[in-house]
Amino acid sequence: MSQSARNAWLPLIRSLSDEIAAAVPLPGVVAISGAQGSGKTTLARLLTDALAARGLRAMTCSLDDFYCSHAQRVELSRAVQPLLITRGVPGTHDVELCMAVIDGVRRAPTAVPRFDKGLDDRVEAVNWPVVGPVDVVVFEGWCLGARPQPDAALVEPINDLERLDDVDGRWRRYVNAQLAQRYRALFARFDRWIYLRVPDFAAVSRWRGEQEMDVPEERRMDAARLARFVAHYERITRWMFDDAPPRADVTVVLDDRHRIANVVTRG
């Protein structure tokens, strides 16, 4: 996101920080979700800075840092379905560790995991930063707040990944079940939920491709690999387009040029 785009978000940041400081019970958790490339990380950092400027102890936390280790995902791919080797979808996070950290960091100094995407593995625990206690955890992640789909919606594949690599639907049913079970307790910890609503899935693919250009060339995915990677997230991303806005506390509607088109506050 360009500096001019960041500047355009500043009125929203001020409004959100006003509302959080006035109404969120402390210590609290503010969740930010949205498709890949939507601007979650930038919004989380700007909001954390704005809260800190108000004298609140705030930290940014990412769902990405709670991916299961590579070894754990290898075991999961063997035991359940091969597609689970790829990090990101519900079922590939250590939800219990995530809840323990979110609970802990609001009470006392707590070690916060880090995940190295280049190595595709969790950083050794001895190198985790110790943070806390804090007043506000600003927690960002692409699927935060997602609900499971109805069983009937899982029958037909929505892309070639599902059509060719999840022929019997085992992968998508497993992912959906995780949202219905383990992730519900995590999402219940949110005091506020901000959802970034992108215009369509074509924008997701394009913006995620732009992010990839920031990756060192030797680790950068080519177009085919990137398309396959993004396909893992397509089902839940499309589902959240319509299911998330009526439930989120704040929905930030983005246009095709990554500008804020509208802000809708529930209630």
Q: Which of 17, 11, 106, 3 is CA-nearest to residue 61?
A: 106
Give me the pLDDT at residue 239, please.
98
Least confident of 38-42, 77-81, 94-98, 234-238: 38-42
For residues 16 and 58, give the distance between their C-alpha atoms in angstroms, rounded to a whole number.
Answer: 14
User: What is the domain count for the chain?
Assistant: 1
Would 206 be classed as within a structural domain?
no
Domain limits for position 7 = 3-194
- C-alpha neighbours within 13 Å on the C-beta side of residue 231: 18
| Angle made by CA atoms 254, 153, 82, in degrees to the nearest 5 | 90
Please indicate, yes or no, if residue 77 is contained in any of the structural domains: yes
Within a domain: residue 72?
A: yes
Whole-structure pTM value: 0.93
Q: What angle do CA 9, 11, 16 make, to 5 degrees?
A: 95
What is the structure's pLDDT at 66? Answer: 97
Tell whether 212 is covered by a domain: no
Q: Tell me: pLDDT of 221 over 70.
A: no
> 151-181, pLDDT tens digit by residue?
999 999 999 999 999 999 999 999 999 999 9
Look at residue 41 in the predicted model and tell me its pLDDT: 92
pLDDT of 18-43, one tens digit each?
Answer: 999 999 999 999 999 999 889 999 99
List phi, psi (to 5°) of 27: -75, 140
* Among the ranges given (10-24, 190-204, 219-233), the one the predictor scored with the smallest mean pLDDT: 219-233
In a domain, 223, yes or no: no
> What's residue 207's pLDDT?
75
107-144 pLDDT, tens digit each: 999 999 999 988 899 999 999 999 999 999 999 999 99
Q: Please check whether residue 222 lies inside any domain of the structure.
A: no
Residue 164: CATH number of its domain: 3.40.50.300
User: With 60 as the cut, is the pLDDT of residue 1 above it?
Assistant: no
Asked whether residue 177 is assigned to any structural domain, the reply reads: yes
Residue 56 lies in a domain: yes
